[in-house]
Structure 1
């Protein structure tokens, strides 16, 4: 009988789930609307129906558990707290409700932490005990692993590198503060940088013809590859800020590697080169030239579902 984990990634618009074996093979995958407003039980009914329907096609599997990655998920309390794009309530007792619909053991954490465990189980961090995963999406998420264990802190919310302060008088952040790292280093952050550069410089740039709401990080990457000066400068600026903050991060846990994941990583050297340069330039001397800064090993895979499934093997398997 094949052992599998059910990995669930909850997003503000859609929720993906998959049946994943220990080798990282996804046997089945599906996406359903999250129904992120109103009664959370409607979401659970849809999820239960979809998962039960999927399992009918796999009668000979042994389900070891369910792993869930969700925004602002608390590992200890199994709650979703103050999630900006999921409006089921301020603090959702997700674990309690889960037990009404499913009989399987469940573990949940935020999506960036799930990505870190996915990197450890299925990705490029196999065999590593000290590393960090940085997810560069709409915001900046992070999962910090020390001695083979995710760092949760006393309340379950440790490791939010996206909300370290770059400039206390800087850009407004969705968290209510100013100058958070993710307002500079993220898909949204680099868009804001592009428009600042367009205002400050008179360089010819194809980015001048694009409205803010129409501009994407992917287009900025493509423009950089076409040698657009504003796009290249935006990546230089983004990499400088990220590099300085990674140098700061190094002194806290001394990781063997930092993995970058997300759309901005597809820019390759345009983001990695300035990040590495400014990280090493600002590194505490004892750590210089020790850190590996590399792309995630899950870039071309369904990282969200794999990361959620990996939580099961990490949490419930006896070593």
Structure 2
């Protein structure tokens, strides 16, 4: 049996009271699995900067977890972006996930702020110069919607690693071979940094397909057919659990040592997959006299 993988989780900051309860329920349920770290996203277009900062601070202080804060280039000057990074450093945060970020709401595509970072490479270079952070970046095992080719994505990832990033976390995918081919292509390009597969437990099949359409993830026809039958028979959750567990198990059997779960602040499926992989709560039993 393969050794249980190391794990990490992504959360997003709450914007309503109900969402706040859901985040803390998610953290409480998943923290006992002893993740290497957890990350907290920005909203689309960087709209939740203050909420992200508050969630990062609260999770770190109240749950003792290592927290990585997302930081993007969207709608901010270089000085403003680096000031946010400094505020994280002041709060004891040493890990940042540096991303270009999505276009602000209503915009068709990302346009750099006139006085901001033009892309992730520039952001990584500036963060690396501070010497205060471990920097992770995004990676695309399938072509980014704006990329000229799959090789262009690999080449761009190498530039981000060369700029100072120490690891990459991929966009989600539905088939293990997608990641394995990408990993081989990165190795061939001379990328030596760890590349961690991003895993999306399917909470809603329709929602997962919408995410896939936005980021360019291929939806296998067999999976589409399987979920059509499962939804009709009332077994969507069972299929989702099986699909995610099999995907993760295949990756681990191919030498993957760490998995990063996009929880969507819905912890149950992520918890159940982790349990199936042998990642269980760390309980210390006291010796009875």
**Which TM class, normalised by the smaller chain length?**
0.3 to 0.5
Q: Which has the higher helix share?
A: 2
Q: Which has the higher strand share?
A: 1
Rg larger for: 1
